[in-house]
Amino acid sequence: MKVLIVNKFLKPKGGSETYIIKIGDCLKQKGHQVQYFGMDEPGRTLGNRINQYTASLDFHTTGYRRLLYPLKIIYSREARVKLMRVLEDFKPDAVHINNFNYQLTPSILYGIRDFEKKTGKRTTVLYTAHDYQLICPNHMLNSPGDGQNCEQCVGGRFFGCIRKRCIHQSLVKSILGAAEGAIYRRLKVYRCIDRIVCPSYFLEDKLNQVELFRNKTITLHNFADRMEAGPARKKDYVLYFGRYSREKGIGTLLKACRELPDIPFVFAGDGPLADSVTGIPNIKNVGFVKGDSLAQLIQEARFSIYPSEYYENCPFSVIESQLLKTPVLGARIGGIPELIQEGVNGSLFASGNLEELKEKIRHLWDSPGLCASWAENCGDIRYDTLEMYCDKLLKLYETKQ
């Protein structure tokens, strides 16, 4: 099978890029042909045979080129034309779309339609929803100004995005984001997508509130890399690892740490609130850690905390902790509760509720035997391996609406 993977960034950068790299490598190992389409920029590691890509766009730069960005954010003729060239050359059986807004724009869907009309070849179009971009211009269902979760745009009412300046707190960017959402929703261009892969039932439910997406969605929780918990002994600390930012619930967690001074915490990560993490006596801030060092931190923790205060999708941090036999105390929000069986391999608390968070931390800290039991139960959790996940994708690639 021939699969064209589309993503605006074609180099290691974030979760979406890690996903497309691993998916592509696995499909190749299974004997399928894979090419990529997206932006051409320094450090690009993925590509297509005829080297057709869009020019790099950085909306944070200055200069005369920014004058053209408003038009390019909404519609990219370059992306439509160059994708058409790649399709004509590669003739894929399936196009697997990932993050595309702003740099590639939904115009790529017109490019796929152009290809089908010209060649008569029907191509399956699959989209993996890494976030809420189809129903929310800032992709988070959260208003950055007041920090509140918000669903005003889900039903197609995009004025709230402008009023709250939801995109980078910029009026101009928010107007453009709202315009893109409104225009493509009205034109129903997303009907060109055959199937939408949702990493959580929560996200699937939100998408299904829009008639255009109903009967197209399917939930596949994120695949898990093989991680084996060795004989490492648990140590006396509670772990938070991830981004130090407001929406991740860091502010509430820091308050809990201050009010539980006898409990040692280890924080591993970085972000805009990094300065707030330092200076609290019972917190050891080790900064950004990855690889084996991070795995060891996770594996040796009594339990980990995932205190998010926005609609998480399917956080890898929860999965990684469980695979390393460390139970998770997670916020009851978004897709997090789907991953934790309360009272069996972890626990949940009301997102943003300081008192319940403190109560749960204290209870677990004072119950090492319970934590040890939950840690063993984590070994019974089964997530799809990369190979299993790709096998499911291959079946979806064969399904045309």
Q: Are residues 327 and 214 in the same domain?
A: no
Do 392 and 373 lie in one domain? The reply is no
Per-residue pLDDT of 315-351, as tens digits, reads 999 999 999 999 999 999 999 999 999 999 999 999 9
Nearest Cα to Cα of residue 281 among 298, 305, 302, 260: 260
| Positions in the chain short of pLDDT 70 | 57-72, 226-231, 400-401
Co-location of 215 and 342 in the same domain: no
pLDDT, one tens digit per residue, over 328-337 is: 999 999 999 9
Residue 120 sits in which domain range? Answer: 2-128+188-223+386-397
Neighbouring C-alpha atoms within 13 Å toward the C-beta of 372: 9
Q: What is the pLDDT of residue 327?
A: 97
pLDDT in tens, 219-251: 999 998 766 656 678 999 999 999 999 999 999
CB atoms within 10 A of CB 399: 12
Residue with tokens 């330092």: 278
* Helix or strand (DSSP H, E) at 371: helix 368-378
Angle at 205 (CA atoms; ends 199, 208), nearest 5 degrees: 110
The count of domains in the chain is 2
Residue 191 contacts by C-beta under 8 Å, 6 or more apart in sequence? 212
Residue 256 lies in a domain: yes
Task: Determine, yes or no, domain membership for 162.
Answer: no
Name the maximum alpha-carbon separation found in the chain.
Answer: 69
173 located within any domain: no
State the CATH number of the domain containing residue 338: 3.40.50.2000
User: Are residue 270 and residue 325 in the same domain, yes or no?
Assistant: yes
User: Is residue 150 in a domain?
Assistant: no
> Is-contact 257 365, C-beta < 8 A?
no
